[in-house]
């Protein structure tokens, strides 16, 4: 297996982040244009109330810079230590898939129970990746 294949899930997660960022900007313009949000709100992110559709996507955009950062780091560690294999690749794609599903749930119908299950699934996958790498490097 080529070591570079472990990087492809990272690219797709970055693509998700860019997509949510673009959606957030689009919804910001909508909030100003259609809902009367004062554009100066965005100077310090205060001085008004965001519409729910913007609040959800804004919060989710921030969320994509939390746990996913640990995924980027561990993916680069797997690549740089030449540990990439089919198991890591499968786990990486599962993590990315759960993050896409989490984004969909959070930005659309936002059912907390569904979101929590998917978030916890992604977190468990990420923990498994980190623990597996730790033990592989420890006993190498």
Provide the token pair at 91. 């786990």
In order of 61, 92, 104, the CA distances from 114 in angstroms are 18, 21, 11
CA Rg, the chain, in Å? 18
pLDDT for 29 beyond 80: yes
Please give the DSSP secondary-structure letter assigned to residue 139.
T
Which pTM value belongs to this model?
Answer: 0.94
Residue-wise pLDDT tens digits, 61-113: 999 999 999 999 999 999 999 999 999 999 999 999 999 999 999 999 999 99
Please give the DSSP secondary-structure letter assigned to residue 45.
T
Looking at residue 52, its pLDDT comes to 93
Exposed e or buried b for every residue in 113-123, given b needs 16+ CB within 10 A?
Answer: eebeebbebbe
Domain tally for the chain? 1
Domain extent for 67: 3-138
Residue 96 near residue 9 (C-beta atoms within 8 A): yes
């Amino acid at each position: 297996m080529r070591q570079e294949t472990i990087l492809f899930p990272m690219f797709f997660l970055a693509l998700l982040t860019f997509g949510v960022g673009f959606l957030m900007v689009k919804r910001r313009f909508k909030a100003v244009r259609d809902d009367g949000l004062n554009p100066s709100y965005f100077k310090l992110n205060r001085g008004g109330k965001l519409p729910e559709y913007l609040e959800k996507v804004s919060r989710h955009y921030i969320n994509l810079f939390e746990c996913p950062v640990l995924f980027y780091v561990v993916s680069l560690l797997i690549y740089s230590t030449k540990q990439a294999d089919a198991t890591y690749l499968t786990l990486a794609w599962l993590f990315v898939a759960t993050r896409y599903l989490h984004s969909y749930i959070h930005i659309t119908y936002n059912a907390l129970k569904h979101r929590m299950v998917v978030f916890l699934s992604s977190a468990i996958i990420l923990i498994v990746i980190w623990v597996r790498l730790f033990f592989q490097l420890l006993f190498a």
